[in-house]
Structure 1
Amino acid sequence: MSKPVVDAFFVGRALSQALYHELEKTLTNALSDLGKFDAEQRERLRLFTQEVMERASRESGFVMNAPTNSGISGPIGSPIPEPGDLQATIDELRAEIAQVRAQLQIYRSNRP
Structure 2
Amino acid sequence: MSTPLVHAFFVGRAIAEVVYERLETGVTEALSELGKFDAEQRENLRQFVDEVVERAQREEAIATQASTTTTIVPTDLQTGGDLQATIDDLRAEIAELRSELQRYRTRSSQ
TM over 0.5: yes
- Mapping of residues 59-78 of structure 1, within 5 Å: 59-66=59-66, 67-70=69-72
Instruction: Describe the superposition over 1:23-82 as per-residue Cα deviations: whole angstroms up to 9, x where unpaired.
Output: 0000000110011011101101110110010000000000111125136xxxxxxxxxxx
- Residue 22 of structure 2 aligns to a residue whose secondary structure is helix
Shift of 1:2: 1.1
Q: Which runs of 5+ in 2 are unaligned?
A: 74-110
When normalised by structure 2's length, the TM-score is 0.62
Q: Which residue of 1 aligns with 2:78?
A: none
Q: Letter of the aligned partner of 1:25 in structure 2?
A: T
Number of paired residues?
Answer: 81
Task: Work out the CA distance in 2 between the residues paired with 1:65 and 1:42.
Answer: 34
Q: Which residue of 1 aligns with 2:4?
A: 4
When normalised by structure 1's length, the TM-score is 0.61
Choose 1 or 2 for highest CA Rg.
2
Q: Which residue of 1 aligns with 2:103?
A: none
Q: Which residue of 2 aligns with 1:49?
A: 49
Task: Work out the CA distance in 2 between the residues paired with 1:25 and 1:54.
Answer: 43
Shift of 1:8: 0.3
Q: Which runs of 4+ in 1 moved over 6 A?
A: none
- Could you tell me the percent identity over the aligned residues? 56
Cα RMSD of the aligned pairs, angstroms, is 2.4
Q: Letter of the aligned partner of 2:8 in structure 1?
A: A
Q: Letter of the aligned partner of 2:46 in structure 1?
A: R
- Mapping of residues 1-112 of structure 1, within 5 Å: 2-66=2-66, 67-70=69-72
